[in-house]
Amino acid sequence: MHELSIVMGIIEIAERQAKAADATIIDEVELDIGTLSGIETEALEFAWKQGVRQTMLEYAVKKINQIAGKARCLDCDAEFAIEKYEDACPICGEHLLDIIQGKELRVKSLLVS
Amino acid sequence: MCATCGCDSGGKTTFRLLDKDQQAEHDHKHVFAAGHDHAHSHFDSHDHVHNHSKTIIEVEQDVLLQNNLLAQRNRGYFDAKNILALNLVSSPGSGKTSLLERTLTDLKGQLDFAVIEGDQQTTNDADRIQATGTDVTQINTGKGCHLDAHMILHALQGLKPKENSVLLIENVGNLVCPAMFDLGEKERIVIISVTEGDDKPLKYPDMFHSSTLCIINKTDLLPYVPFDIEKVKANAKKINHHLEIIEVSCTTGEGLQVWYNWLKSKVLLPETT
Ligand SMILES: Nc1nc2c(ncn2[C@@H]2O[C@H](COP(=O)(O)OP(=O)(O)OP(=O)(O)O)[C@@H](O)[C@H]2O)c(=O)[nH]1
Ligand SMILES: [Mg+2]
Ligand SMILES: [Zn+2]
Ligand SMILES: [Zn+2]
Ligand SMILES: [Zn+2]
Ligand SMILES: [Zn+2]
Ligand SMILES: [Zn+2]
């Protein structure tokens, strides 16, 4: 359950930013999570409930932007959507891919007051 | 508070440097919070007279940034001392410690080694390493399911690996969680054993995607288990076309020479010897 470490990381970032802005309440936190980031949404939900207790994020609304996987084929240069690392290039069938999107794991923004 | 990284102490991760002479097993119990204890002042519940207006903060910050910065710091330390750091990951029981035991014994006198052992509980693995005469620090992560760069930073403070040595880091047995946490290693080595089923790469793609070498262990058991080694290799390559694959048996020693050659090829020898 590395998701708990991830939630701790989110809390650390959010609290530091909120305090720096002199805020006392975090109303909303917006996260960018790529589908290839290694984060299980269910596990994250579970870890979130445990992790945010008694922190500034305890009552914050969590918004998650799921970012779809995208790759570039090193053989034919095509760009296309992928769901898994094992996916082949739909144009030439090769597996020599560069992941160009989908590994994001970011705190995008906060709404504070 | 830890002066090096500013972390708060009093947490659940423990570090134990095992001494060569067993009786003097002093405790390097530099303890810090891995699941940080948060002693925050939380939002006030007083009646607000003043108006809090809502503000949007554009953060745009990588959640793993802190770990990645510490990993870079470890990497700098390794580079400066010409230490080859390897991060060994696998499911529980694939043979990480067995591979280390064989390696440390067979290459004794040829390369200098130091070992960091990561387990949730016990110093069993570190004891096995110590029996080979190698310096070893045991990290116990408690409930933590992976090592992170911060833990390695502290383990290094006690272990102090020699210049030009090879640092072998055995991660917590877990094919999921350690994938996300860069430790500052040069190479990540994923180990699977033939008793685990040949769909491992497809089930745990993150680990295979982030590793540079895959060791298939326990090949002595191939006659007894349904394990299509060619299928595994093909699947692993689909996920990561850079992945090198070496087949070994830690029990019979078959294939170990290939692994030793790989290891030696990664060691940058110092200018003068
Ligand atoms: N038959 C056979 N058994 C092996 C081989 N390598 C390791 N084993 C056995 O597999 C079991 C687990 O090996 P370990 O080296 O402790 O595995 P590990 O990956 O360090 O396990 P954890 O630290 O618990 O994650 C032990 O009983 C070993 O004796 C091998 O090549 N062949
Ligand atoms: Mg072990
Ligand atoms: Zn985990
Ligand atoms: Zn293509
Ligand atoms: Zn620290
Ligand atoms: Zn810390
Ligand atoms: Zn107030």
Strands B244-247 vs B166-170: parallel, antiparallel or unpaired? unpaired
Q: Does A103 touch chain B (CB under 8 A)?
A: no
User: What pLDDT, on the 0 to 100 scale, is given for residue B12?
Assistant: 73
Site from A33, A37, A85, A112 to mutate, B interface, most B CB atoms within 10 angstroms: A85
Phi, psi angle pair for B207, to nearest 5°? -65, -40
Does domain B84-266 bear CATH number 3.40.50.300?
Answer: yes
pLDDT at residue A29 greater than cutoff 60 = yes
Structural domain boundaries in chain A: 3-112
ipTM: 0.90
Q: Which B-chain residues 177-196 have CB contacts (< 8 A) with chain A? A: 177-181
Give the mean pLDDT of chain A: 95
Cβ neighbours of B109 (radius 10 Å): 6
Q: Mind giving me the DSSP string for A20-72?
A: HTT-S-EEEEEEEEETTSS--HHHHHHHHHHHSTTSTTTTPEEEEEEE-EEEE
How confident is the model over B159-173, as pLDDT tens digits?
Answer: 999 999 999 999 999
To the nearest 10°, the Cα dihedral for B184, B18, B142, B207? Answer: 30
Report, as ranges of residue numbers, the positions in chain B whose pLDDT lies below 70.
1-11, 20-52, 269-273
User: What pLDDT, on the 0 to 100 scale, is given for residue B268?
Assistant: 76
User: What pLDDT, on the 0 to 100 scale, is given for residue B52?
Assistant: 59
Strands A105-112 vs B9-18: parallel, antiparallel or unpaired? unpaired
pTM of the shown model: 0.88
3-state SS of B40-74? CCCCCCCCCCCCCCCEEEEEEEECCHHHHHHHHHH
Residues of B in contact with A88 (CB under 8 A): 238
Domain A3-112: which topology?
hypothetical protein PF0899 fold (3.30.2320)
Over residues A69-88, the mean pLDDT reads 95
User: What pLDDT, on the 0 to 100 scale, is given for residue B153?
Assistant: 97
Ligand 1 touching residue B222 (CB < 6 A): no
Over residues A82-96, the mean pLDDT reads 93
CA B119 to each of CA B33, B139, B167: distance values in angstroms, whole numbers, following the listed order: 16, 6, 17
User: What pLDDT, on the 0 to 100 scale, is given for residue B271?
Assistant: 57
How confident is the model over B16-50, as pLDDT tens digits?
Answer: 998 755 434 444 444 444 444 444 444 555 555 55
User: What pLDDT, on the 0 to 100 scale, is given for residue B182?
Assistant: 97
Structural domain boundaries in chain B: 84-266
Ligand 1 touching residue B97 (CB < 6 A): yes
- Quote the ligand 5 centre to B83 CA distance (angstroms): 21
CA A75 to each of CA A8, A70, A93, B97, B238: distance values in angstroms, whole numbers, following the listed order: 40, 15, 10, 39, 14
* Nearest alpha-carbon partner for B84 in B116, B113, B125: B113
pLDDT at residue A12 greater than cutoff 90 = yes
